[in-house]
Each structure stands twice: as structure tokens, then as C-alpha cells.
Amino acid sequence: MLRLVVLGNSGAVPAPGRVPSCFAIKSGNTFLFDCCEGAQRQMMKYRISYAKVNAIFFSHLHADHILGIFGLIQTMNLHDRTDELLLFGPHGIKELMGTVLSLRYLRPKFPVRIVEVTSSKRVFEDKLIRVSAFKVDHKVEALGYVIEEQPINKFYEKKAKDLGIKGKLFREIQDNGFVKIGRKKIKLEDVTYVKKGKRVVYTGDSLPCSAIERAAKDAELLVHDSTFADDSQSLAKKKYHSTARQAAESARKAKVKALLLTHFSNRYADLSVLLAEAKEVFPNVDIAEAGKEILI
């Protein structure tokens, strides 16, 4: 199960009571997607342990998406972290992070590995999840991310039981790949099928684009840039952002199960106008509000 927690939902300029867009996903370890200014405070507020952060995935290198990393690393220093921290991001992240983190007063006391993602590909996986990157359409080089549960083998229970598999034999066939019942050898693939993991897709900052629709095809949740209302579509295009309606159109085309709007311009004190516009196109949509938790 993936647990997504919204840490922030604002655009580049914070609004009263809102911090820039930032998300945590928990699945065994904790993973951050962008690290806005004040991220560690938001994590404390919503009970996300910064000690368990395994990796941070930056969509791009604009300040509102990266400023929180430096304070977070200092807090990790103060708590004597020893585990390696992984930082993923587009071209330029090694130079930026390497330069800043080499400064005496900001230097981490634990290993930090910086991974520059230069093409659309899988960038991380562990026993529970895998993360792939894809390029989006923003003013600078920028990435979106697909977060996917690892596929698992599921039993055809009736077929397995009809063949005599029961009790400890379920564990034995998983461990060995087969079991023998009498003279019959039953292979694991004879009684199981592969169940695909659930997927969350995060766009970062982007114009609507076909890359997002391809990456989000049939996903459980699409978290999409929704900086402006549709009457500001020309401004959105100029700034390389999306409107809420455009986000909803991407969700509809990709046939996702749910849409979460984020990265709101601070001109919108009331976000209901953005939600209403999106709902005209795609019904299962919600606003990313700080502290909101979604189980996938």
C-alpha cells in the first residue's frame, strides 16, 4: 500500500497558510517528491519522520522545489544520521547540490548520493516500490515521476487447493518455486498470476503534455500541476504551467482513477474555483491540502 501525504500545495510564491508543493510517499521507507522551503516543519506537523527519509526526488531545480533540503540535512546532522540519503533530479542537480553541500557549514555528516537523471527511465527500486522518471514540459529541464508498487504473485486459490496445496505448502512453493504432492510436481507459475502494483504519477511543474498522459495511463492517482484557472490559460502557457481544467483533461485522457490538483498560484485564496473547473471535465478530483492523506 502507498500512503501519500500532502506537505504543501502552493506555487512558487507561498500564500498565507500555504507552503510550496511537496509530497511524501510512505511504503516501508519514506520518499519525498520535491522538498519545499519549510518541508521539515510540515513533516513534523503531519508526523512524517525525517529520520526515515530514504530518497528525495526533485522534479526540477527552481527554488520553491529545492530550498527545504538544506534545512532538512542540517536537522539530520543534529540527529546523528548515518544512513545514506539519495537525491534524484534533472541535469544540474549534481553541480548545484554538490556545490552547496560542500560548504563547511552545510556539509552533511552522513553519505549523500546525488543521481542526475538525464533520460526517461527507472531510477530507483527496493522490495516494495519502484520509481521511474519521465520528461515534462516546463521552462527549465524538468521531470515527472511514476511511483509504482512492485508486482506480486497472487495465488489462484481454488486451483491451488484443488491440486492439494494447503497450509505450509503455500510457503514451500513460494520459497522453492515448486512443490511435490505424491508423484506430481506443481510449479509456482502453474497456480499463480502476476498482479501489477498500483501507481501514482507526479507531474511536478509542467504544461499539459502527451508524456504525462502516457505515464499516467490507468494509474490510481495523478498529481497534476494546476497553477491557474482556465481564464488564465494564456498566462499558464507563458509560465509553462497548467490550468485546473487542463489537468482534468489529462486525467480523462489517461483514464486515471483519481486526480489531485496542486501548485496553486497565490492569487487564489479560494481554491474552490479550480476544483469546480476540473470537476466539469473529470469527476473524481480533489484539492491537495496540506495534511491530506491518501491511501492507494
Tens of pLDDT, residue by residue over 78-137, are: 999 999 999 999 999 999 999 999 999 899 999 999 999 987 788 999 999 999 999 999
Find the domain containing 183 and state its range: 153-193
Question: Which of 210, 245, 237, 241 has the alpha carbon at shortest distance from 225?
Answer: 241
Q: Please tell me the predicted confidence (pLDDT) of residue 136.
A: 97
How does DSSP assign 105-172, residue by residue?
Answer: GG--SS-EEEEE--SSEEEEE-SSEEEEEEE-B-SS--EEEEEEEPPEEEE-HHHHHHTT--THHHHH
Please check the confidence at residue 256 and state whether its pLDDT lies above 90: yes
Residue 155's pLDDT band (cuts 50, 70, 90):
confident
Q: CA dist 136 to 59, 141, 262, Å? A: 9, 8, 16
User: Is 205 found in the same domain as 187?
Assistant: no
User: Is 95 found in the same domain as 132?
Assistant: yes
Vertex 18 angle, CA 201 and 252, to 5°: 30
User: Is 16 found in the same domain as 82?
Assistant: yes
User: Is 104 found in the same domain as 23?
Assistant: yes
170, 193, 216 — which closes off a domain?
193
Of the CA atoms within 13 Å of residue 101, those in its CB half-sphere come to 24
3-state secondary structure (DSSP) of residue 83? coil
185: β partners? 180
The label of the residue with cell 533520460 reads 119
User: Is 209 found in the same domain as 90?
Assistant: yes
148: β partners? 130, 199
Q: Please tell me the predicted confidence (pLDDT) of residue 188.
A: 82
Q: Please tell me the predicted confidence (pLDDT) of residue 131.
A: 97
Q: Active site residue: 34, 64, 205, 225, which one?
A: 64
User: Is 106 found in the same domain as 174?
Assistant: no
Q: The CATH number of the domain where 135 resides is what?
A: 3.60.15.10
Question: Which of 229, 296, 213 has the alpha carbon at shortest distance from 261?
Answer: 229
User: Is 102 found in the same domain as 70?
Assistant: yes
User: Is 94 found in the same domain as 8?
Assistant: yes
For strands 129-135 and 143-149, give the pairing: antiparallel
Count of structural domains within the chain: 2
Q: To the nearest 10°, the Cα dihedral for 271, 275, 277, 282?
A: 160
Query: Which residues have a Cβ under 8 Å from the Cβ of 34 and sit 6 or more positions away?
Result: 20, 21, 22, 23, 56, 57, 58, 59, 65, 66, 204
The predicted model gives 134-161 an average pLDDT of 90
Question: Can you give the pTM of this predicted structure?
Answer: 0.90
To 10 degrees, what angle do helices 272-279 and 244-254 make?
Answer: 40
3-state secondary structure (DSSP) of residue 276? helix
Tens of pLDDT, residue by residue over 3-17, are: 999 999 999 887 788
User: Is 214 found in the same domain as 174?
Assistant: no
Residue 138's pLDDT band (cuts 50, 70, 90):
very high
Q: Please tell me the predicted confidence (pLDDT) of residue 77.
A: 94
User: Is 130 found in the same domain as 20?
Assistant: yes
Q: Please tell me the predicted confidence (pLDDT) of residue 16.
A: 82
Please check the confidence at residue 162 and state whether its pLDDT lies above 80: no
User: Is 168 found in the same domain as 123?
Assistant: no
Please check the confidence at residue 260 and state whether its pLDDT lies above 90: yes
Q: Please tell me the predicted confidence (pLDDT) of residue 13.
A: 85
User: Is 105 found in the same domain as 50?
Assistant: yes
Residue 182's pLDDT band (cuts 50, 70, 90):
confident
Please check the confidence at residue 249 and state whether its pLDDT lies above 90: yes
Q: Is 21 exposed, middle or buried (0-12, 13-18, 19+ CB in 10 A)?
A: buried
Catalytic site includes residue 64 = yes
Query: Which residues have a Cβ under 8 Å from the Cβ of 91 and sit 6 or more positions away?
Result: 116, 118, 141
Tens of pLDDT, residue by residue over 261-292, are: 999 999 999 999 999 999 999 999 999 999 99
CB 124 within 8 A of CB 55: yes
Tens of pLDDT, residue by residue over 27-77, are: 989 999 999 998 999 999 999 998 899 999 999 999 999 999 999 999 999
